[in-house]
């Protein structure tokens, strides 16, 4: 559950950076004010806005990797908020996951228990290599060294 809390907090940073990158200036109104404007045709909202696409195993893996990087950046006390947001967005993109998709998945894991479990398993998988990398203390013997002769009396 700790992973979910950290991911949720980290998502806020990435969301801010992603929104800042995706913001476009509004289009200028070219229609004269004296003409009667026709009502715009109703267009359905994109499907992804209402219901995000199913999350693939590859996306779960990328999300877990990106979330780990985002978590590390969030804990970096040497960076200010602006630098953290930029670094987080870059870290997410470097994993191959779009920041918007990262945010969609982060939002979905808050309500989708099965997805949450998949992400936690993937996060544990990414955490394992660093834990296993520590050498275990074992006695070392040089196999080329000859045994020392014992004295017999």
Successive 10-residue mean pLDDT values, the chain, 153 residues: 50 49 48 48 47 88 95 93 94 95 96 96 80 53 59 57
Cβ atoms of residues 31 and 37 within 8 Å: yes
Cβ atoms of residues 71 and 127 within 8 Å: no
pLDDT at residue 43, rounded to an integer: 46
Nearest by Cα to 1 from 129, 109, 149: 109
Q: How far, rounded to the nearest angstrom, does the alpha carbon of residue 31 sit from its chain's CA centroid?
A: 43
Domain boundaries, the chain: 2-22+59-130
């Amino acid at each position: 559950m700790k992973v979910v809390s950290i991911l949720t907090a980290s998502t806020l940073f990435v969301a801010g950076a992603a929104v800042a990158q995706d913001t476009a200036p509004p289009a200028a109104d070219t229609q004269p004010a004296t003409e009667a404007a026709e009502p715009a045709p109703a267009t359905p909202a994109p499907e992804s806005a209402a219901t995000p696409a199913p999350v693939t195993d590859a996306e779960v893996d990328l999300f877990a990797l990106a979330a780990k990087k985002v978590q590390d950046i969030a804990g970096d006390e040497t960076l200010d908020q602006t630098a953290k947001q930029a670094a987080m967005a870059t870290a997410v993109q470097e994993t191959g996951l779009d920041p918007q998709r990262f945010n969609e998945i982060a939002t979905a894991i808050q309500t989708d228990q099965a997805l949450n479990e998949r992400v936690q398993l993937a996060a544990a998988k990414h955490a394992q290599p660093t834990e296993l990398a520590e050498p275990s203390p074992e006695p070392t013997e040089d196999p080329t060294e000859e045994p020392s002769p014992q004295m017999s009396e």
